[in-house]
Amino acid sequence: MDYRYELLDSELCYQGFFRLQRHHLRHMQFAGGWSPTITRELLHRGHAAAALLYDPKLDAVVLIEQFRIGAIEHPGGPWLTELVAGYIEAGESAEDVVRREVLEEAGCRVEEILPIHSYLVSPGGSVERMSLFCARVQAPADGSIHGLAEEGEDIRVRVLSVDDALERMHNGAIGSATPIIALQWLELHRRELSLRWGSKA
């Protein structure tokens, strides 16, 4: 397979917190030859980092709950149970973002951090890449409220036993991709993590 493509023309459609571009391009096809010219919109929203917070003494995870505009039409409503996460700013590493956001969104500190994966969030229309971690923490109080007022954040901490969190994932109560990926990783690596961090699991 000849994996070539040609970007023929681009135009800026919108520039705000996000940037939206329209590209006209063609690419080589699996059967050979060039595709016809196709048009695709591409959303630039930066790259992000997220962490599954794990307290080994409690064998519990620290998740957060907040309003999400992208879930406004979701049957369960727009308040989602998620991981601590944030966008990577200039000069920051993904780990820097996790340490900053854990303090801002959950009110605790990272004691140790392990990489899980790095993946494209929605490559059909966005360049965003997510760097995903597991971080050892001491769980804050369940129900405590955090976030930066100047960013319009209203974030509630949810401390759940690992078994409860996995059950919520399996029954669909946790429905966004990043926490599902992280919890599935935890389900596969729970014993390994308990040996590393001395969990009571």
Tokens 């992208």 found at = 70
pLDDT given for residue 201 in this prediction: 61
CA gap 82, 68 in Å, rounded: 10
Check residue 126 and give left, alpha or beta (phi > 0: left; psi -120 to 50: alpha): beta
Which amino acid is it at 65?
Answer: E
Domains within the chain, CATH numbers bracketed = 5-44 (no CATH), 48-197 (3.90.79.10)
For residues 47 and 88, the answer to whether their CB atoms sit within 8 Å is: yes
- Continuous segment of H or E residues that includes residue 97: helix 94-106
**What pLDDT is recorded for position 132?**
98
Catalytic residue among 92, 151, 153, 192: 151
Residue 11 catalytic? no
Residue-level pLDDT at 156: 97
pLDDT tens-digit series, residues 43-101: 999 999 999 999 999 999 999 999 999 999 989 899 999 999 999 999 999 999 999 99
pLDDT of residue 150: 85
Across the chain, which has 201 residues, the per-10-residue mean pLDDT values are 96 96 98 97 95 96 96 92 96 97 97 97 96 98 91 93 97 95 97 87 61
